[in-house]
Structure 1
Amino acid sequence: MKMMFNAAVKDIEISGIRKFFNKIQHIDGMISLTIGQPDFPTPTHIKAAAKKAIDQNHTNYTHNAGIPDLRIAISQYMEQKYNLYYQADSEIIVTSGASQAIDTALRTVLSIGQEVILPAPVYPGYTPVIKQCGAIPVFVDTTENEFKLTAEMIEPHITDQTVCLILPYPSNPTGVSLTEAELKDIAELSEKYNLIIIADEIYSELTYDEKHTSMGTLARERTITINGLSKSHSMTGWRIGVLMAPSHIAEQCLKVHQYTVSCASSISQYAALAAYTAGINDAEPMKKEYRRRRAFTEKKLLELGFDVVKPDGAFYFFAGIPSGAASSEQFAIELAEQAKVGVVPGTAFGPEGEGYIRVSYACSEQQLTEAFKRMEQYLT
């Protein structure tokens, strides 16, 4: 029987990160520097709140946008942390992870044939959704500007079909962020061309040198802010994300969200309530450790001849492989097979990533030390 599929789905490829992982997962004794999640446990008080919610039978559907107390807590948290205010009852939607928030935002704003501008290299989770909407991703190569996307770089790519700009910062895979001045320029550009901005700020709590500036404070009426607890509170598996936008945008996003998941997990929402209240500073000890690992990783990469742009946040280096090395994928395969160290080839984040690998320092110092020891032996 001939199967009929949506053409947009048939054209989607499995994530390059996952495809590469499948190639090397059979290797025993490998140290993985590929991981995109914190290696810390979820804080104890958050887990206790979830257990309490189960015991109190909070196991029913919640409001589509999330339990009211949680949305109030999120509103207060964002205002305290970033001077960013959204109304709890009409401008905040609790989602099943930041990925679902991104999906909801894109499906809300895009129509067939419209264009979306985004930096490259970039996290591979945006493009498939854009294409499923019948829209067109337009990539701006940032490799010549230390992975910074600027207004000056964006403007030549704007056409009559451009409706949206995606700003992921700090970035996955580069860890590079944007300053307030750079964001102001982009805000002015978006006003000039009437663009919607989707600001993916999931790593906002993991910035090391300068305080994170949220685009919603600069272009509130045209910004959809994406955030969540996966990185800040080590809650990747709890699947709690947040979509925040002016009420006229959030109202439309809620329709898409409602018919996609109804609501986020009730138990996870009660855990999130603890995270956004009692756990408002839970990220601080993690950030302190990441800052130390960042320094260690940078030192080792430079010693081994990698080209390094120091990341502002997240927990990744997007490092240029030493001259004379093979392609990114071949380098990563040989490193896995011969040194038993796993990294992600840069091409998993688009063709602009050729010549680079992504190295995660979201693992213990002991693992990092042994991994770089093995890399040194392989390279020499």
Structure 2
Amino acid sequence: MDNILDFDMEELKSWMRDNCESEFRAKQIMDWIYKNGQCDFDNMTNIPKKLLEKLKTNFYIGTTELVKKCESKFRDTFKFLYEYKDGNMVETVVMKYKHGNSICISTQVGCRMGCKFCASTIDGMVRNLTAGEMLGQILKSQNEIGERISNIVLMGSGEPLDNYENVLKFLKIVNSEYSFNIGQRHITLSTCGIVPKIKDLADRDLQITLAISLHAPNDVMRKKIMPIANKYSIKDVIDACKYYIDKTGKRVSFEYALVSGVNDSLKCCDELTELISGLLCHVNLIPVNEVKENNLKKSSSDDVKKFYHRLIKNKIETTIRREMGSDIDAACGQLRRSYLKSKKL
């Protein structure tokens, strides 16, 4: 059986034609799923019974099963642990803001990038998620909170550009009018820096926001915390960003997780300034999420502020990411890992 969420409109219309059904039924079904949040074929009241039987024989609606739900004490952050049909689990986080609800979705089960500060990569990568499985996280989360999602961040477990084709299809469907109709300007894709894919993404002239997980101002430091730096130098990454900016006219966001005693000195700050000065960019400072399996400690609030003010003084547009959901382990991979460990005990 196929996950119907893996089908775009044209593919579902083609299936209807091949199965002697009217094309317009495809839109009816898409409306039930995406507009009404319906995850049961039997509840689609304007679909003929004969077609419903065909659908149930050939498809399932892959919205995932809820394993665990955590809610922050401020009721502004929800973390969900979802399970797919094969038993694999991923995490999804929903953050409520005044301007709307943002969702951080996973693109892979696990991750093979090996970044030292990330819990989702500790056990390696299990498999890619399909476009439909990513869409299923949004559909299920909307049903759980009873509100519409308006912004998407591909920054959960996994490296989006390591699952490139499925991510491209996801972006196409989630942006479509028949689906969630979420504008590309409301979508952010975060990557640790797979240079060829960044350039290919630029050539597609999408309007999404590109976020680069930089986390260090030089190669020596970056290699210690991000193995991808052994394949692509910082110069390679920055050159790819310049290409992306030139092609799309879009600002690039640099994610910089501040680790105490590692990359949070003012010397690092000045080095970072020299690296990105003159680029159409923005720096997002992130107090690193502490993970039990490593010894990385988050920078003190004073050091974060000093780093921030130095960047501002150096005329680099900068923000400090608001910490949300720290009381529910909202960082990538923590909930999944703790749940799997508890099941082994």
| TM superposition score normalised by structure 2 | 0.31
> Which has the higher relative contact order, 1 or 2, with Cα contacts under 8 A spaced 6 or more apart?
1
| TM superposition score normalised by structure 1 | 0.28
Between Structure 1 and Structure 2, the one with more strand by share is 2
